[in-house]
Amino acid sequence: MRRRALDAARASPRGGRTAERASSRSSATPARARARSSASAGQVDPNERAKFERDAALWWNETRGPFAALHAMNPTRVAFVRDAMREQFKETLGTNAMRDALRGTRVLDVGCGGGIFAESLARLGADVTAIDAGLANIEIARAHAARDPGLDGRLRYEHVAAEALGDRGETFDAVTSLEVIEHVSDPMGFAKSLGKLVRPGGALFLSTINRTARSFAFAIVGAERALGLVPPGTHSFSKFLTPGEVALLASRSGCEMRELAGMVYDPIRNTWALSTDVQINFIAHCVKAKESTKKSKD
């Protein structure tokens, strides 16, 4: 299922050009206008950050409110990342029980919001660092995690941007950034910041919304305007990325896309499932080359 979707992404003839144009527009911004604190530097769009911080108190409203759709989607995202990591790191994770599937791995979640995905990874045994450029989001995430003693020592939140964390020289077994890249001002620069944080031989996971007529109809017209699943203005169609563009961004960040799957919503059951259909939502598993491989190519 995932292989067929991945082959379609690699065959995309237009993927790279749009991503590069978006990046070049951002890089033309004067340096003084781009300068920010370490918590909000670089590719973070201040308007997008403010939008999510306004609703920060609602992050853990699982059935109603602006983030209910992420709660419904979360089990599908967790299953994809868990299974991909178990396969990629099977030599070290193969003996772990499913309830502790990611024990022994260090994972970074970038753009963690209120911690929906980060908490799930920590409950699977991963040592999780979760970061966000919005201080209000981090405060809500910390407060919610503090209610579960089982997360002590497994989950840390930090108000910092990916670029600043990379400048400190930190690397992780896996870096995740889910439903984030369509909200940044410089997708190429953001992807390179993520790639820098992945250790050689590590994993990068990205999920976003494809730029298609169906995604406009579902994510903009349906979800925002008709059904009210997310607040109006949550998404900008021009910022959506095709699987081919995501593959290019990953490649320029030193990672190769290995798996690709669509995530399809069932409005009657309010559930999501993995699929070969990547026309709307999709998630990608990318792998960073090991040092020995990189050197041999040089």
Q: List binding-site positions for S-adenosyl-L-methionine.
A: 77, 111, 132, 178
Average pLDDT, whole number, for the chain?
86
pLDDT of residue 296: 45
Please give the average per-residue pLDDT across 183-188, as a whole number.
Answer: 94
pLDDT of residue 293: 52
Dist. CA 80–CA 104, nearest whole Å: 18
In terms of Cα–Cα distance, which of 185, 172, 96 is closest to 130? 172
Edge-to-edge strand order for the sheet containing 127-131?
155-158, 127-131, 106-110, 172-178, 198-209, 281-288, 255-266, 271-275
pLDDT of residue 31: 35
At 97, list the tokens: 């029980």
Is the CB of residue 131 less than 8 Å from the CB of residue 193?
Answer: no
Q: List binding-site positions.
A: 77, 111, 132, 178-179, 182-183
Residue 19: pLDDT band with limits 50, 70, 90: low
Most confident option among 27-36, 187-196, 285-294: 187-196
Q: Which of these ranges, 15-19, 257-261, 285-289, has the smallest mean pLDDT?
A: 15-19
Residues 6+ apart with CB under 8 A from 10: 244, 247, 257
pLDDT of residue 5: 65
Task: Answer yes or no: is pLDDT of 142 > 70.
Answer: yes
DSSP conformation class of 225: I
Task: Answer yes or no: is pLDDT of 30 > 70.
Answer: no
At 273, list the tokens: 């499932």
Task: Answer yes or no: is pLDDT of 28 > 80.
Answer: no
Classify 2-297 by CATH class: alpha beta
Q: List binding-site positions for Mg(2+).
A: 179, 182-183
**Residue extents of the structural domains in the chain:** 2-297
Residues 6+ apart with CB under 8 A from 219: 209, 235, 237, 240, 280
pLDDT digits (tens, 9 = 90+) for 101-133: 999 999 999 999 999 999 999 999 999 999 999
Dist. CA 263–CA 261, nearest whole Å: 7
pLDDT of residue 48: 73
At 164, list the tokens: 């600043």
Please state, as a whole number, how many other Cβ atoms lie within 10 Å of the Cβ of residue 298.
Answer: 5
Residues 6+ apart with CB under 8 A from 60: 67, 114, 116, 140, 144
Kindly report the backbone phi and psi dihedral angles of residue 13, in degrees, each rounded to the nearest multiple of 5, phi listed first: -85, -15
Task: Answer yes or no: is pLDDT of 15 > 50.
Answer: no
- The one-letter code for the residue type at 157 is Y
pLDDT of residue 9: 65
